[in-house]
Structure 1
Amino acid sequence: MASKERKTPLIRVKNLYKVFGPNAGKVLQQVKEGKSKDDILAETGHTVGLSDINMDIYPGEIFVVMGLSGSGKSTLIRHFNRLIDPTAGVIEVEGSDVMSFDDKALQQFRRHKMSMVFQRFGLMPHRSVLDNIGYGLQIQGVAKQEREKLARYWLETVGLDGYDKHFPANLSGGQQQRVGLARALCTDADILLMDEAFSALDPLIRSEMQDQLIELQEKLHKTIVFITHDLDEALRLGDRIAILRDGVLVQQGEPVDILLHPADDYVEAFVKDVNRARALTVETVMKPQVCRISAETIGEALAEMRKSKDDYGYYINEDGYQGVITQETLEGVEQSEYDKAIDPSLLDSVPAVHTDALLEAVIPETLDSEHPLPVINADGDVEGRLSRSTLAEVLSDQAGSEEDDEKVKKLKTSKSLAA
């Protein structure tokens, strides 16, 4: 997933409204006055698609827009490439107002800046797989030899090597969607719009496509706007998530924000059945690290420990994290031994866990350890700690105190979480 570092937004949406009907401009005032979507439909026959949407989407992130059917998510994504024009509001891409584009500029924008992957694949049945993938390049005027070379590369990238001469009707749904994804990637557009792209697939193939998208994104760093009605999919793919209800943006934020701090009853209903252990990573719930002992001798380590508010610490040497050392152990060493190096026999073996590990994967180690587990990043540096009480607090239905032993007991006996 994309870095949390915020840059200049690639896509910026400001005060966006969409009303469907012949007198949309006149009805817009009623929307701005706060009349409900249902009341406006009953009184005017107009449908409110979007109401005062504001969002920034950053380069290289997967931004997920989700909501139930009729929430406005597909309407929203079609504004980005002006398949739908707004009733009011501003859509900027790379600082340019998309609404200011004339027909020629809009055509170039669609061909080179944004690619789209549809729910029902959108493949041309009379064209081969290779020709489908290269179609966007053909529209751009790329020579046949070059576009076939690029199309073949993306064919192989999505795992369909050998299917170049097949036609869409000969492919499974998952294979067809891979062709659709390859076609979108083939134009090398900066922005990928994916409208319920995996919703028509069976669960196993859908999971495989999610895996492939994550794998591709780690290499390509595209800006992806992904539409879904499935929260599990949103949590798995999204760097950030926006939730729509009846055309209104009710909450947006990182997955952990949505999951642990739902903005209202609507969002809470979405998240209540989510298995948090399978959705949250260690990094999202870890607490700051405890005392860090980096001394070379026992006496120096004891001095560091006595200055700490903790009675144990993570022992770190030039090779990285080595284990847990307790104040009780250090106090038990004879003073005559203080100038000796710290021996591995003084350390408690407590496994480290990685920041990007799912909670589900680290539950057994966390529950088996007397001390909180050190959390290390990709470079092997200790960044935080994960304790049984933190797990209990995060995974329990009602967050409680740090020392809630009953929740820890429930976790220990919960087969579903460790499955």
Structure 2
Amino acid sequence: MTAKKTGYYCQQCGHFTSRWMGRCSGCGGWNTYVEEVAVPARHGRASGHREEDPRPLIEVPLMDGERRSTGMAELNRVLGGGVVPGSLILLGGDPGIGKSTLLLQVAGAVGSAGHRVLYVSGEESPHQLKLRAERLGVNSTELYVYPQTNLETVEEQLARVNPSLVVVDSIQTMFLSDISSAPGSVSQVRECTARLMQLAKKQSVSIFVVGHVTKEGMIAGPRVMEHMVDVVLYFEGERHQTFRILRGVKNRFGSTNEIGVFEMSGTGLREVANPSSFFLMDHVCRNVAGTVVVPTLEGTRPLLVEIQGLVCPTSFGTPRRMTAGVDHNRVALIMAVLEKRLGLMLGNCDAYVNVVGGVRIDEPAADLGIAVALASSFRDRAIDGSMVVMGELGLTGEIRPVTAVDKRIREAAQLGFGCCIVPRQKGLPKAGELDIKEAATLAEAFDLVF
């Protein structure tokens, strides 16, 4: 009997080496190599696929299967309109963020619509799932629960039940018996994901897979797993806050710019139809220095968020710069522009910038809002609470136009704001009683704001 060949796999990126090394040459991680049995690559024709001859693209028929609704409008938005038959969807998030809750609600909604669902649980017993289902109000007769971690057995039950949707919770608990490494290892995760992809394409069944997240915020397992699946979703949020954001980072069937907003309650996740009013429900901007409302854009959805700035004299030799929800380097750049173009001496002051609600803003349209919040706190002058500002800030102090300004203005008008400071550009829309003021430079904007 020949001994099986072993090797060392990086537990973060899946890089293989024949000997142990302290630092991974693939991702740069330290002490990430673990000895496992080397799994040979499986070549040849995949099961269930017949060989076809090349043909012109215009002769290939369109897929006649329509998208299936998940029963949640926010999730449908992120997926691009619904679940595509035969797709493999990976859902990642921090422990306890609500991944299993979300998928159990989706399974109940799809089952209530008359489609059969198979929920494969590798971490919870049927009794635990029943308790959660009672709390969430899930009582569909088409929802089947199967506690199992052996993927070969799951494949047999999938062929017997013939579901339209499968939920695997989680991929780190699944294993294949012909691979000797432990569940959750690089070999097991990679091969189990490949087997699930074959099942999805062969039987035209949609599969949701739950993936754990490491302390670095990445889905545990090899990065090749994210390349294999069709859709990668991240469930974000803070444990001490009630809202959750579902964000798509990869989608072969739709846009990756959309987000879904949910609120965690005692009866499960509830969709937030108007996220702007949700994030501004504690808005106390009136007569308070250092706060301003900024219309941002997440995909096609405008969001109004509150940016807070605090500037105070430093007590140490080096001033502190702390941010939450915005890029730290971007704030440092904006502070340099304020010093150079407007003469605000911020070099000997501590500066803190926070986006209320834990929202993360990555677009440059929030530059003007950050600058106004910092200047308001530095001058200790309050900003009109009915005002919103937007604009990208250049190094020379000019304010550049932003995209989809009409959507941002309409959202501000619907929420009752009275004034909007925008970059000077052509074709600005009219929004009822909303007073739109244009500014080409940072100095002009400050004259309008203050």
TM over 0.5: no
Give the TM-score of the pair, scaled to structure 1: 0.31
Q: Which has the higher contact order (CA 8 A, sep 6+)?
A: 1
Give the TM-score of the pair, scaled to structure 2: 0.29
More strand by proportion, 1 or 2? 2
